[in-house]
Chain A
Amino acid sequence: MRTLLLATALLAPSQLVSQAAPADLARERADRVQWLSADPLSPARAIALATIPPAGLTIGGDASDIPLGTATSATVREAAGRVTLTGWGPDRTLPAGRATATHGVRLLPFGASGRTQLLVYRDDKPGKRPVYFPYSTAAKLSVTLTPSAPRVQRILAPDGATVEATEIGTVAVTFGGAAVPLRVMRVSIGEDESQLLINFRDGTTGAGTYPAGRFVELIPLGHDRYTLDLNRAFNPYCAYSSIFPCPLPWSGNTIVARVEAGEKYPAEVVPR
C-alpha cells in the first residue's frame, strides 16, 4: 500500500483528478479499441462505399470504379435483391449484411434492394487505435428529457448512413457554464432496438477532438431520466476513414466549455 501511495504522488496533477474508468466502460472501450484497431471490418480499413448502379460496379484494375491495383477486375451487380460478383473465378453471390473475403478485400453489400450499397474493406490497410481523455467523474451527468412533439427527419447516423430518425426532445446540460439544451434523436437499430443519440460540438471540437463533432448515447434511468456520460462520447466513422459521409453536428448542439472526456481525434496532436 505504501508503494502504491508513493506511485500515485508521482503522477502529474492532471492525472490525479481523474479516476480509473468504471469496469463496464473500461470493457466497452477495450472492445472498441480492438474493433477499430484490429478487426477486419474496422471502419479504418474501409476504402470504398458506393451504391451499386444498374450497370454494376467494377473493382480491381486501375480503370475500375474501385481500383485496388490488382491485375484483374470483377463486377458487382444487384438484381432482384441478389448481389453477385463476376470476374474473379466462378460467379458468386455476396450475401447481404455479411462480408465476403476475396483478393485481399472484404465486400459487404447492405441496404435496401434497388439502392444496395457496397462497402469495401482492405485487409492490408491498418486499423486505427482510438485514444481517450482520462476518465472524468464530472463528465457523467444525470439529465431529464424534455419531450417535444416527435418529428421524423432524415439524418446521417454515426456510420454515415442516411437514416430516418425521430427527434424526441432535449436534455439540458450544464457543463462549465450556462445550461445548453441538446437535441436528442431516436435512431432505430433493429425491429425492437433503438439508440437515443446526441450529436454535439464542444470547446474541444477541432482542438483535440474530431472537427465534425462527436456522438453520445443516452442511457435510460427510468421515466424521463437518463445518464449522459460524456466519457462515452465517440467519433463518427468518418474520423477513421474518409469514405464515410460525415454527419454535421446538429444545429444548436454546442457546449461552449471544453468537454475533456471521451474519444479524442487520433489524427491530431492533442494540445496539452
Chain B
Amino acid sequence: MPENPNPDRDLTPDVSAETDVARLGHSSPPPAHEQTADEDADVVDWDRVAAMEQFKALLKAKAAFIVPATLFFVVYYFALPVLVGWFPELMEKRIGPVNLAYLFALSQFFMAWAVAFVYLRKAAKFDEEARQIIARLDEPKGAKPE
C-alpha cells in the first residue's frame, strides 16, 4: 500500500464506493471490508437453505405439530376457568372422594406433561431433519464429513 502523501487528509471516499463505511444503526449489509470473519467466510447461504425443499418440509412439519398442540392446550386450559366460573353445578359433581372441578384442575398437570413428552419425541425427528439439511449444505463445497 502506498504511503499517504498527505497525512492530514483522510483518503476514504465519501459515498457509494467499494470501501464505503456502513451507516450506523441501519440494517443494510456492511461493505465487504467491514464484515466479520463469520460473514466473510460466508458459512451459510441463508437464502439457499430457506429455498431447499427439505427445509420447507421441516417448517411445515413443525407447524403441523406446534399449531394444533398450542390450540389444544390453550382450549383445554381455559376450559377450566370457563367451566368452574359459569357451570359450577356441573363441576361440583362428586366423583369418589373428590369432585369434577378438582379432577379437571389436576388433569391440567398431566395434560401439560403429556403434551411436553409428545413434543420431545416429535422434536427428535425435527432435529434429525435439521441435521440432514446442514449435512447437505456442505456437499457441493466438498466439506469434510463430521
- The answer to whether A and B assemble together is no
A interface residues with partner B (beta carbon < 8 Å): none
Contacts from B to A (Cβ < 8 Å)? none
